[in-house]
Amino acid sequence: MRRIINLRPGRGGIVLWGALPFLAAGVAYALASSARLAANPNDKLLPQLESFAAALGRLALNPDARTGDYLMWVDTLASLQRLGLGLGVATALALVLGLAIGLIPYVRAGLSPFVGVVSMIPPMAVLPVLFIVFGLDELSKVVLIVFGVAPFLVRDLALKVGDLPREQLIKAETLGASTWQIVVRVVLPQMLPRLIDAVRLSLGPAWLFLISAEAIAATEGLGYRIFLVRRYMAMDAILPYVAWITLLAFLSDAGLRWVNARFFPWLKAGKGQS
């Protein structure tokens, strides 16, 4: 008897099943929008799908009358710069501290409790502190992303280093490898793809911290624009911006997944597959 858990869709089936939820959501929105607009033609909560294209054209293809900038691209560039810088610093910290904590007992004894406690602090709770200490400019937004993401990356990488088979390290030591050679030749090649996977999992929280910071203090950025037009209930601009942020996050995740598949193909077949 064939069980449903053993049935697998083909390539076409995967595309079809993946598209169905999006089609269902689009149809549900169109029906709900039509119903609300039929009851109240001036309703702003669920505008027609056509108004999204008009808003996107206004924000992305036409220069702003006051500044002359293409607002959507200016906002996108500003947000991606903050996000990239924050994630880059957090990843570098995780690489250094995660390897050290996972591999060196003295470092683990000294830093592991501290990192554990810091990771329990809600990042949004310290946002006012960051604004006071680092000001309202770019630095505080980048620091918030680092503060929110780095502790998770450090702990995750340290745990994965600790899970490495002890036999690998003993063999390397037996062959005369120094600590630096063990790090570079044994540990680092195995940890890089796992660090990339951890960064993929951090994309959602990183976007959350970025949007929150931009909503409070910014003059440009995707989060800033969403909260600016919120005052006018401009859902025709807010929803496309949300969809655009989702697309950027999806493309970032796909890019990191491609890097792992391209440079670390062994990970997919190993137990580290995600």
Tens digit of pLDDT for each residue in 40-85? 888 888 888 888 888 888 888 888 888 888 999 999 999 999 999 9
In this structure, are residues 153 and 202 in contact, taking their beta carbons and an 8 Å threshold? yes
Instruction: Tell me how crowded residue 63 is: count the other CB atoms within 10 A of its CB.
Output: 10
Q: Are 153 and 90 in contact, with CB atoms under 8 Å apart?
A: yes
pLDDT band at residue 274 under the 50/70/90 scheme: very low
* Residue 270 pLDDT class (50, 70, 90 cuts): low
Question: Rounded to whole angstroms, how far apart are CA atoms 207 and 149?
Answer: 10
How much is the pLDDT for 57? 87
Mutual orientation of helices 235-263 and 49-56 as an angle, nearest 10°?
Answer: 80
Contact 190, 164 (CB under 8 A): yes
pLDDT digits (tens, 9 = 90+) for 79-100: 999 999 999 999 999 999 999 9
pLDDT of 24-41, one tens digit each? 999 999 999 999 999 888
Examine the pLDDT at 3 and tell me if it is beyond 50: yes
Q: How many residues does the chain have?
A: 274
CB 90 within 8 Å of CB 115: no
End-to-end Cα distance, the chain: 30
Lowest mean per-residue pLDDT among 135-139, 154-158, 246-250, 256-260: 135-139
b/e 139-149 (16+ beta carbons within 10 angstroms → b): ebbbbbbbbbb
Q: Are 63 and 70 in contact (CB under 8 A)?
A: yes
Helices (H), the chain: 11-39, 49-56, 71-103, 105-119, 127-134, 138-162, 166-174, 179-181, 188-216, 222-229, 235-263, 266-269
Position 87, amino acid:
L
In the 8-state DSSP scheme, what is residue 48?
-
Phi, psi torsion values for 136, nearest 5 degrees: -95, 5
pLDDT of residue 204: 94
The residue among 111 and 234 whose pLDDT is bigger is 111
Contacts (Cβ under 8 Å, ≥6 apart) of 220 = 74, 75, 78
Can you tell me the distance from the alpha carbon of 120 to that of 171, in angstroms, rounded to the nearest whole number?
37
